Amino acid sequence: MSPISVRRTLPNAWREVWLFFWRDVLIARTYRTAFLLESVEALFGAAMLYYVARFVDSPSLERALPQAGGYFAFSLVGFIFLDYLSVSLDSFDRSLQEARDSGTLEHLLVTQTSLPVLVAGSAIYPFVVTTVRIAIYIVWGVAFFHFPLYAANWLGVFAMLAATLLAFCGLGIFSASYLLLFKRGNPGKWFFLSISSVTGGMLFPVSILPDWLQFVAHLNPVSYALDGMRTALLGGAGFSALLHPLGVLLAFAAVLLPSSVFVFAWALKRTKMNGTLTHS
Amino acid sequence: MPETLICVEQLQKFFPPARSGWRAFLQPFERATSVALAGISLEVRDGEAVALLGTNGAGKSTLLKILATLVLPTSGKASVAGHDTVEDSRAVRRQLGYHAGTDHGFYPRLTGRQNLLFFGRLNRLSQTAASKRIVSLAQRFHLEDSLDRQVRTLSTGTMQRLSLARAVLHEPCVLLLDEPTRSLDAIAAAGFRRYLKNEILRRGNTSLLFASHTLSEVEMLANRVAIIEKGRLLACDTPAALKRYTSSDTMDEVFLRITGRANPGGAHGDSAADSESASS
């Protein structure tokens, strides 16, 4: 029995999200070596960070880092998190662009699928793949480079991942709206990623930044997401320590998600008005 | 009295002028001044086939896209099975089968069967029903050998047949077809016309609105022919009545006379380029 028929009983929206996911699985299966190559790439990525950490680690640096595991653990979490942030920002507009360029967008929009399902369904596979890739990074880190997982609060990790996903999806949907309207990549996305590479705390703690950049970091959801993730994964902190970053991320999500869906619907309407749905 | 399935009242559509360079950023917000439809009114009754005939740029595809909920009208009303295409677009899409003339809109790395199954399922067909229907349509459209090949390996004509199969897959009550037999060889085109006439139209519960430049196709399939020029409906009647009114022997002559391209001497003069596309 195929996975499609196994889920026949799911409500329509979930069933359709599953159909989109399964479509992408089938497409990915035609690139047979991609998974293997990505796994090898993850191994080399983890190795690079490990040797950079061996080069820079010192007792004073370890004291400056908020959690256990030294600079390797700190930078690996930051590095894989950047991957997650990129996919959150990219997956919506990339799937939209692919649908537009292949001509499937028109045909998707004349099916009975609703707009939110179409948007969510097209993005779910990249999120799943990135989550798997992150897991592979961590597995390599644990297996070969002593990545410290002994203290991890897994429930906290998953809660942080879910909140991060919700908060960043809104940014991704904004980016897709921009693409729909202007037919080009979003410069706002590039700016946000650039700002986040400095103020997000990916490769160094936010505390070493000058005051004004620390202020910017406090406005950036990436810094909360990374702080919470490191606290749960490396520091093994309980939920009480995660309440602050979780609350901030959920507040970002509560604002960004509905407003981005609203803007996307408006951009789609505008595109239909102008007759430029299939233009690239 | 048969029910009206498609109703178009005083439909107008203006598009903003096309821009390039930095001005493209203003294009989504520019005033729509370029006329595509200039107040068209048309009805298609239950079980009826109506052909849209006109030169390139006459507004045929725009009308079909408005009915398919892909383009929003500037003013006027369009409804399908009693549902407004703007206010109730989801209900409209439940009734529709749509075939775009300009692209095929498939996932190139999926097989024909996987593509059809995906779109059929999005149109609320069950896995079993979709699979059975795909097999039956594959026989009808001579797609048996191509069904399990990746779409990227198929010829243009085969993709066109696949696209037509998708349009009728969920047995919609309204079919909107934009140049359905373009890119088909003579045998496949004749086969598809026979299928439309004998299996779709003869059943009497499906309405067909199609745009075509093939006049033999128009005469074979259409109960009525709507002649459109520069966004205006010039005439709409049965092929026999149109021939009678214009004292013409062929639809070619009807078209040239109604659009004012035939000169009294019988020679078509500078209309040749236009009439070329309108001739079979």
- ipTM for this model: 0.86
B31 touches chain A (CB under 8 A): no
Residues of B within 8 A of A13 (CB-CB) are none
Asked if the Cβ–Cβ distance from A181 to B117 is below 8 Å, we say no
List the single range of A125-129, A230-234, B203-207 with lowest mean pLDDT: B203-207
Residues of A within 8 A of B103 (CB-CB) are 103, 106, 278
- The pLDDT of residue A3 is 52
**Nearest Cα to B175, choosing from B162, B189, B165, B187?**
B165
Q: Cα separation of B275 and B266, whole Å?
A: 13
- The pLDDT of residue A41 is 87
Q: Cα separation of B59 and B56, whole Å?
A: 8
Q: For tokens 């410290």, what's the residue?
A: A148
Instruction: Yes or no: say if B258 and B225 are a contact pair by the CB < 8 Å rule.
Output: no
- The pLDDT of residue B276 is 38
pLDDT tens readout for residues B55-87: 988 999 999 999 999 999 999 999 999 999 999
Asked if the Cβ–Cβ distance from B127 to A277 is below 8 Å, we say no
Q: Cα separation of B141 and B220, whole Å?
A: 19
Asked if the Cβ–Cβ distance from A270 to B15 is below 8 Å, we say no
Q: Between the CA atoms of A178, A99, B18 and A269, what dihedral angle is there, to the nearest 10 degrees?
A: -60
| Burial category of A187 from C-beta neighbours within 10 Å (exposed 0-12, middle 13-18, buried 19 and up) | exposed
DSSP B22: G
B12 touches chain A (CB under 8 A): no
What number is the average pLDDT over the span A124-148?
Answer: 88
What number is the average pLDDT over the span A187-213?
Answer: 86
Asked if the Cβ–Cβ distance from A112 to B65 is below 8 Å, we say no
Number of other residues whose CB lies within 10 A of the CB of residue B44: 24
- Tell me how many domains chain B contains: 1
Q: What's chain B look like in SS3?
A: CCCEEEEEEEEEEEECCCCCHHHHHCHHHCCCCEEEEEEEEEEEECCCEEEEECCCCCCHHHHHHHHCCCCCCCEEEEEECCEECCCCHHHHHHHEEEECCCCCCCCCCCEHHHHHHHHHHHCCCCHHHHHHHHHHHHHHCCCCCCCCCEHHHCCHHHHHHHHHHHHHCCCCCEEEEECCCCCCCHHHHHHHHHHHHHHHHCCCCCEEEEECCCHHHHHHHCCEEEEEECCEEEEEECHHHHHHHHCCCCHHHHHHHHCCCCCCCCCCHHHHHHHHHHCC
- Tell whether the model's pLDDT for residue B230 goes beyond 70: yes
Q: Cα separation of A167 and A80, whole Å?
A: 17
- The pLDDT of residue B44 is 94
Q: Domain limits at B66? A: 4-278
- Tell whether the model's pLDDT for residue B264 goes beyond 60: no
Give the three-class secondary structure for A158: helix
Q: For tokens 């202007």, what's the residue?
A: A182
Q: Which residue has the higher pLDDT, B110 or B142?
A: B110
- Tell whether the model's pLDDT for residue B270 goes beyond 60: no
Instruction: Yes or no: say if B122 and A108 are a contact pair by the CB < 8 Å rule.
Output: yes
Beta bridge partners of B177: B99, B210
Asked if the Cβ–Cβ distance from B24 to A182 is below 8 Å, we say yes
Q: For tokens 């996987």, what's the residue?
A: B114
Q: For tokens 């029910």, what's the residue?
A: B3
> Helices H, strands E: what count in chain B?
10, 10
Asked if the Cβ–Cβ distance from B122 to A273 is below 8 Å, we say no
- The pLDDT of residue B30 is 76
Instruction: Yes or no: say if B15 and B36 are a contact pair by the CB < 8 Å rule.
Output: yes
Q: Which residue has the higher pLDDT, B66 or A117?
A: B66
Confidence of residue B133 (pLDDT cuts 50, 70, 90): very high
- Tell whether the model's pLDDT for residue A279 goes beyond 80: no
- The pLDDT of residue B43 is 94
Asked if the Cβ–Cβ distance from B93 to A112 is below 8 Å, we say yes
Instruction: Yes or no: say if B127 and A4 are a contact pair by the CB < 8 Å rule.
Output: yes
- Tell whether the model's pLDDT for residue B245 goes beyond 80: yes
Give the three-class secondary structure for A150: coil
Asked if the Cβ–Cβ distance from B105 to A102 is below 8 Å, we say yes
- Tell whether the model's pLDDT for residue B279 goes beyond 50: no
Residues of A within 8 A of B93 (CB-CB) are 110-112
Asked if the Cβ–Cβ distance from B121 to A4 is below 8 Å, we say yes
What number is the average pLDDT over the span B192-211?
Answer: 86
B16 touches chain A (CB under 8 A): yes
Best B66, B115, B121 residue to mutate vs chain A (most A CBs within 10 Å): B121
- The pLDDT of residue A53 is 87
Percent of chain B with pLDDT over 90: 57
- Tell whether the model's pLDDT for residue B260 goes beyond 70: yes
Say which CATH number the domain at B153 has: 3.40.50.300
Shortest CA gap B11–chain A (Å): 14
Interface A-B, measured as beta-carbon pairs within 8 A, has a size of 106
Percent of chain A with pLDDT over 90: 19
- The pLDDT of residue B21 is 72
What number is the average pLDDT over the span A98-110?
Answer: 88
pLDDT tens readout for residues A142-193: 899 888 888 788 899 889 988 988 888 888 888 888 888 887 777 778 888 8
Window B:234-253, CB contacts with A under 8 Å: none
Window B:128-147, CB contacts with A under 8 Å: 128
Q: Cα separation of B280 and B278, whole Å?
A: 7
